[in-house]
Amino acid sequence: MSAFRRIDRPSPNHGPRADGSRVELLILHYTGMPTAADALDRLCDPAAQVSAHYTVDEDGTIFAHVPEDRRAWHAGRSGWRGTGDVNSRSIGVEIVNPGHEFGYRPFPPAQMAAVAELCQGIVKRHGIPAGDVLGHSDVAPDRKEDPGELFDWPGLAAQGIGIWPTPSQDDDGPFNDAEVAALLGRYGYDPAEPRALLAFQRHFHPECLTGIPDPETVRRLRALLRLTGR
């Protein structure tokens, strides 16, 4: 039984998944609005034409918007591993946070605990690989920053949700821009997107948001590919 309150708050903004599509990605977002009420109203407003399957408030309350067998409208123009229409292949979870525009702040422990519990169930139900638990910025690096550099990706990975790279000496060595682009493409990013490396850093090396390859960024990228077998 869940330790967190769950409230049904249906959204009309959804449709069928594309023919033959199965859920293989979990996309985590922040709401990026001043208040939770603002975000919930927008996600359920037919005129907004946006939605998610769930929203997690800062106190850990989970709002359910769209059934998991339906295509919610959360990722927008996006792609991963060479394929678009991320919405047809994913579950989308919004996490209440004002975001970079309205006062970005750390995610409270109760909220992260609820996110972990919710995502554990999603990953198990759909068999989502650890390497395909992603942020919105991973699948739309040219226009999104969420859930951002303050999000506790290592903490989720420790609970079996996603992955966190721990480099070893096998991941050391020289590198060049062409290799970095190729490695990003192997993992799933669009290597032709100029902000792909920054998106990688925002997720996996948040201490270094330069968009420029440095030794530790490359070590973590190599470790990630080694751990996922990509």
Which helix or strand (DSSP H or E) is residue 225 part of? Answer: helix 215-228
What totals of helices (H) and strands (E) does the chain contain, helices first?
Answer: 8, 8
| 94 catalytic per annotation | yes
Radius of gyration of the chain (CA): 17
Catalytic residue among 58, 68, 94, 179: 94
Which residue type does 156 have? L
* Distances in whole angstroms, Cα of residue 198 to Cα of each of 106, 137, 144, 213: 20, 9, 11, 9
- Kindly state the DSSP code that residue 199 receives in the 8-state scheme: H
Backbone angles phi, psi at 33, to 5 degrees: -130, 160
Whose CA is closest to 26, among 110, 98, 121, 109? 121
CA distance 36 to 40: 6
Question: 3-state DSSP call for residue 65?
Answer: coil
The residues assigned a catalytic role are: 94
